[in-house]
Amino acid sequence: MSFKLPELPYAYNALEPYYYEATVRIHHDTHHKAYVDSLNVTEARLAEARDKGDFALIKHWEHELAFHGSGHLLHTLFWENMRPGGSSTPKGSLAERIIEDFGSFNNFKKQFTAAAVAVEGSGWTLLVWSPFFKELEVLQAEKHQNLTQWGVIPLLIVDVWEHAYYLKYQNERVKWVEAWWNLVNWEDVLQRFEDSASLMNVSW
Ligand code: MN
């Protein structure tokens, strides 16, 4: 799969005076584009690694996958979350849910603002819906990713903290991971994948 830089859903100068045309142009055409291009390079290098069975650089490429994948995804959402002139407050079920989970819109806005201002270094602040916890949350992200891509739903998980394997496997994590493959419940994984498929038409 090859990723493409999405066009802005408005003109470069449409967010003036709050967001300057020159900044929007550089941010979209240069910064966002670099994430898309690097994500495509990363996907190609990972395909090569799979073909060759050579995972010597796996840590590097997994980092690149998380960094550029999350960078592309978050910028796409960022552009679509804005519109010329804005709109003052949420409506409908979102408005109700914000009140339920944060007490009031004003409380939510204060928490979101405080979280955004307090992000350490470079990053983002997001309002998210957790399908697992069934609630809205405000989350910070340092850089784009911390080795994940936003919006994914976990299907299959292995715990590689030492507490998960140390008594039997000591420092030999690879032996634990190889043993763990014998325990996987693929029917559970399939069920999670099929349940998640209803979200395949989420539009960006
Ligand atoms: Mn950016």
Burial classification of residue 124, based on how many CB atoms lie within 10 Å of its CB (0-12 exposed, 13-18 middle, 19 or more buried): buried
The torsion defined by the Cα of 99, 103, 106 and 107, in degrees rounded to 10, comes to -130
Indicate whether 18 pLDDT > 90. Answer: yes
pLDDT of residue 153: 86
Distance 75 CA to ligand 1 centre (A): 6
Percentage, residues of the chain above pLDDT 70? 98
Q: How many whole angstroms separate alpha carbon 98 and alpha carbon 105?
A: 6
Indicate whether 115 pLDDT > 70. Answer: yes
Query: Cα 98 from chain centroid?
Result: 21
pLDDT of residue 204: 56
Distance 126 CA to ligand 1 centre (A): 14
Distance 24 CA to ligand 1 centre (A): 10
Distance 110 CA to ligand 1 centre (A): 23
Measured N-to-C along each axis, helices 105-117 and 92-102 cross at an angle, to the nearest 10 degrees, of 70
Distance 187 CA to ligand 1 centre (A): 40
Comparing 164 with 202, the larger pLDDT belongs to 164
Distance 31 CA to ligand 1 centre (A): 6
Mean pLDDT, residues 120-124 taken together: 92
Distance 142 CA to ligand 1 centre (A): 12
Mean pLDDT, residues 26-49 taken together: 97
Distance 54 CA to ligand 1 centre (A): 33
Q: Could you report the per-residue pLDDT of 53-109, keeping only the tens digit for each?
A: 999 999 999 999 999 999 999 999 999 999 999 888 899 999 999 999 999 999 999
Percentage, residues of the chain above pLDDT 90? 70
Could you write out the DSSP letters of every residue in 38-67? HHHHHHHHHHHHHHHT--TTHHHHHHHHHH
